[in-house]
Amino acid sequence: MSQREPEISRELFGRLGDTDVHRYVLTSPGGTTVRVLDYGGVVQSLDAPDRDGTPANVVLGFPSLDDYVKNSQPGSNRVFFGALIGRYANRIARGTFTLDGVVHHVPVNDGPNSLHGGPAGFDTEVWSATELRDADGVGLRLELVSPDGDAGFPATVSAEVTYRLDRDNRLSITYRATADAPTVLNMTNHSYWNLAGEGSGDVRDHSLVLHASRYCAVDATLIPAGDPVPVDGSPFDFRQPTPIGARIDGPDPQLEIAGGYDHNWVLDEGAPFAARAHDPASGRVLTVWTTEPGVQFYSGNFLTDELVGTGGRPYGRHGGFALETQHFPDSPNRQDFPSTVLRPGEVYHQETVFRLSTAD
């Protein structure tokens, strides 16, 4: 590629009331370009070359700030394209949890449950942004203070998320946070991927590997039911490369509940990576590493033709897939799950790395 050094630039993306919203463009000499908004920490687009060197945007997103704001409104088909999720990624049953003997209620916005921090989570905030540069890459540090009682969650939380793109086409997302009182915290990024290019059709032919021997079966409202169960002999076994669509329409009660895949996989310790997806048509490969214990694989079951993306094309059902690295759903109500409690003096820290490459 012609660019010899990693680059970062800023441009005005729109206005939210009296606040300017900016888009930051991170470019790697390896051919990857990532566009991140300070609104919601959204990864709006990610251009990556195919096996022939031809770039395409491989994440789903909207073309304008108005589109993102409209999609966050009550009654919309809220999809969280590319957004930072908090305070609590995934679902909390009935919007209720008990911490240190105190019952807390958070907004219900997904049937009877709270999803992704409620109707006004971290994805609807304008974050403070700082550009970063070093010899091997460029980055963007985003900072946000969530006050005590924000969406019903206790404690003031100071959150910091850093996106970094290096010369090897690795996009790392590092999360850090502290709290001034006990609380629960579970953050992630909600990018949807289509390695053939956003708006190019569904992702059923993408091959997927998940290094996970167990997953969380769910009840009718997508809350984990019982202990994690083995994937052996089920449509949830992705330990070997398997097309996303190979078993998605099968007569499995769990697939019927979710309309496809929308479950937490318990990642195997010591695996070489958490997940890997491959589009055979373009040759693009996405590999994911994470410090988190789980990944929510969502197969875009409720994407519709009404969702028109950055390229001007409708997305449609299964038009992208999400790999949300995180702690498990409903952990505040499950003492047997890895804890999401954050106390004063502790530092919430996690990192996920996405690497784009190609294969023949």
Residues noted as catalytic:
190, 324
What 8-state DSSP symbol labels residue 202? -
Q: How far apart are alpha carbons 161 and 84 in whole angstroms?
A: 9
Q: How far apart are alpha carbons 157 and 187 in whole angstroms?
A: 12
**Prior bond of 87 cis (ω within 30°):** yes
* Angle subtended at Cα 39 by Cα 37 and Cα 45, rounded to the nearest 5 degrees: 30
Measured in degrees and rounded to the nearest 5, phi and psi for residue 69 equal -65, -45
**Which amino acid, residue 259?**
G
Q: Is 47 helix (H, G, I), strand (E, B) or coil?
A: strand
Least Cα distance to 260 among 223, 297, 307 occurs for: 297
Q: How far apart are alpha carbons 91 and 94 in whole angstroms?
A: 9
Tell the burial category of 74 from Cβ atoms under 10 Å away from its Cβ (0-12, 13-18, 19+).
exposed
In order of 37, 41, 150, 278, the CA distances from 13 in angstroms are 8, 13, 26, 32
Q: How far apart are alpha carbons 40 and 37 in whole angstroms?
A: 7
Q: Is 151 helix (H, G, I), strand (E, B) or coil?
A: helix
